[in-house]
Structure formats: C-alpha cells, structure tokens
Amino acid sequence: MDKKLTLLQTVAAAGVFSTISFWYGFMFGRESSRKELGNVIQDLRRGNNNQNETPPQ
C-alpha cells in the first residue's frame, strides 16, 4: 500500500507541530522569567543589591 500525504495534511501537521512548539517555548520562557524576576524582587526586598551586575539593556 502506498501512503501519501496531501499538501493539506502536510500543512496541517506542520501547523500543529508549530503551535505545540510555540506553546511549550512560551510556557518555558514565562516560567524562567518568573523565577528570575522572583529572585530579583526578593533580593530587592532584602536589600541585597548586587553592584557588580551589568544593568539590563
């Protein structure tokens, strides 16, 4: 049996893969940012200012 994907099936599969990849990347980036900013906020609340860090650009 010869199975072939149509153009529509290929585009649909690529779209699903792209959507899932974007979602996981977005959630991972969001979680990383939350942790990093949470640490910065806690340091500021405690008064632990790191003077040797470079400022954000």
Unique residue bearing structure tokens 């910065």: 40
pLDDT in tens, 28-42: 888 888 888 888 888
pLDDT in tens, 2-56: 678 899 999 999 999 999 999 998 988 888 888 888 888 888 888 866 555 555 6
The answer to whether the pTM exceeds 0.95 is no
Residue 23 and residue 30 in contact, taking contact as beta carbons nearer than 8 Å: no
